[in-house]
């Protein structure tokens, strides 16, 4: 059997299609290496005393878990010295992280959610890392927040790692979506699935139903129809799954279809949603579209949204195309 490691895959992609530049290849390899370290830290759990919370909060006002901080540090340290980045931004840091002056600078901007689903760490349920890569605007030497505020359609690469029963890396450089499985004995990621495709139709949905009373009318209508099943307007029974780690819920959708929703709700009327546009919604939307699915905020394609702040939030509907179009259509009809 031909065994293709991540390194070989990236080199062949670069040769065959010119799809990846040298520095981007280095970037992906460094992020993958950082994900291996995070995977290791997570899998050792209580043995190293790394479970539980810190006494600090992030910019979103969320209490940071020890592993949120550890994962953030691992990604910063791995990526600061290689010369491939102009700056980094993280869900766990108020401001962008400048590359220290002692290191060379590159042309890419890296954004990440170092640990997604961190409420699941202490109960031993799958968590992950999500990342997004943009180009630093030309002529900008010291990028600041403004230079990150590019629509998701400009991403050159996005991916996530899932730390579940196996550790997986799912990646796109704009040329389909591919999965790599961590071979712990060899220490390398091995290509295990090429060109993932999300079926256009599905019988599975994913939403935190405890927020139902706070949802807006179009979401009430849509979920009401899903619940009505066979005898309702959609004419079929649906199943529901909610892991509460976006990586795990999105990975299930990439594996067998489905629709994932985190709508805007009335709990915090000033906020357009819970999930973060630049660290969660944009990279996942890029991956989902590359796999033939769709991603909107109920009104517009997520990848077309122009961010106004680094930590901006957004409503998310993504996955099987026909279902995403249906719920997006219900928003338009309610206007
Ligand atoms: P994070 O751990 O990075 O803050 O993200 C958690 C997110 C996302 O992973 C998940 O889909 C959602 O929050 C879960 O929200 P609920 O707690 O409302 O279920
Ligand atoms: Mn997250
Ligand atoms: Mn997180």
Domains of the chain with bracketed CATH: 6-193 (3.30.540.10), 204-333 (3.40.190.80)
Q: Which two tokens stand for residue 83?
A: 């010369």
CA-60 nearest atom, ligand 1: 4
Of the CA atoms within 13 Å of residue 196, those in its CB half-sphere come to 30
The rounded Å distance from CA 278 to ligand 1 centre is 15
Distances (CA, A) of 325 to 82, 294, 320: 42, 8, 9
Mutate to test the pocket of ligand 1, among 62, 262, 273, 317 (most ligand atoms within 8 A of CB): 262
- In this predicted model, what pLDDT tens digit does every residue of 158-181 receive, in sequence order? 999 999 999 999 999 999 999 999
- Is residue 208 lining ligand 1, measured as CB closer than 6 Å? yes
334 pLDDT band, cuts 50/70/90, is very high
Q: Average pLDDT in the 87-92 region?
A: 97
Q: Average pLDDT in the 187-194 region?
A: 97
Enclosing H/E stretch for 98: strand 97-98
The rounded Å distance from CA 229 to ligand 3 centre is 34
1 pLDDT band, cuts 50/70/90, is low
pTM above 0.95, yes or no: yes
- Is residue 116 lining ligand 1, measured as CB closer than 6 Å? yes
CA-62 nearest atom, ligand 1: 4
Provide CB contacts within 8 A for 42, sequence distance 6+. 50, 67, 121, 127, 163
Residue 318 has pLDDT above 90, yes or no: yes
Residue 8 has pLDDT above 80, yes or no: yes
């Amino acid at each position: 059997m031909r065994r293709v490691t991540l390194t070989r895959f990236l080199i062949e992609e670069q040769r065959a299609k010119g799809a990846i530049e040298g520095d981007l290849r280095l970037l992906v390899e460094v992020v993958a290496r950082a994900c291996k370290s995070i995977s290791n830290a997570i899998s050792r759990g209580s043995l190293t005393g790394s479970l539980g919370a810190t006494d600090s909060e992030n910019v979103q006002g969320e209490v940071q878990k020890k592993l949120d901080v550890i994962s953030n540090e691992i990604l910063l340290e791995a990526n600061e010295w290689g010369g491939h980045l102009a700056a980094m931004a993280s869900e766990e840091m108020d401001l962008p992280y400048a590359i220290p002056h002692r290191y060379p600078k590159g042309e890419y901007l890296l954004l990440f959610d170092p640990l997604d689903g961190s409420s699941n760490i202490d109960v031993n349920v799958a968590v992950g890392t999500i990342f997004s890569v943009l180009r630093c605007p030309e002529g900008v030497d010291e990028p600041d927040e403004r230079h990150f505020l590019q629509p998701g359609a400009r991403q050159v690469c996005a991916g996530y790692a899932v730390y579940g029963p196996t550790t997986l890396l799912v990646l796109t450089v704009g040329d389909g979506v591919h999965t790599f499985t961590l071979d712990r004995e060899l220490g390398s990621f091995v290509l295990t699935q090429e060109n993932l495709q999300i079926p256009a139709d599905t019988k599975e949905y994913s939403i935190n139903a405890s927020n139902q009373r706070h949802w807006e009318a179009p979401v009430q209508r849509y979920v009401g129809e899903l619940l009505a099943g066979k005898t309702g307007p959609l004419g079929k029974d649906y199943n529901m799954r909610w892991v509460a780690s976006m990586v795990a819920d999105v990975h299930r959708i990439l594996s067998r279809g489905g629709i994932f929703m985190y709508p805007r709700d009335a709990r915090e009327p000033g906020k357009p949603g819970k999930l973060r546009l630049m660290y969660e919604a944009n990279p996942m939307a890029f991956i989902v579209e590359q796999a033939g699915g769709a991603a909107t905020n109920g009104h517009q394609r997520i990848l077309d949204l122009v961010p106004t702040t680094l930590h901006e939030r957004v409503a998310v509907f993504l996955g099987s195309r026909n279902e995403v179009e249906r719920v997006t259509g219900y928003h338009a009809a309610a206007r």
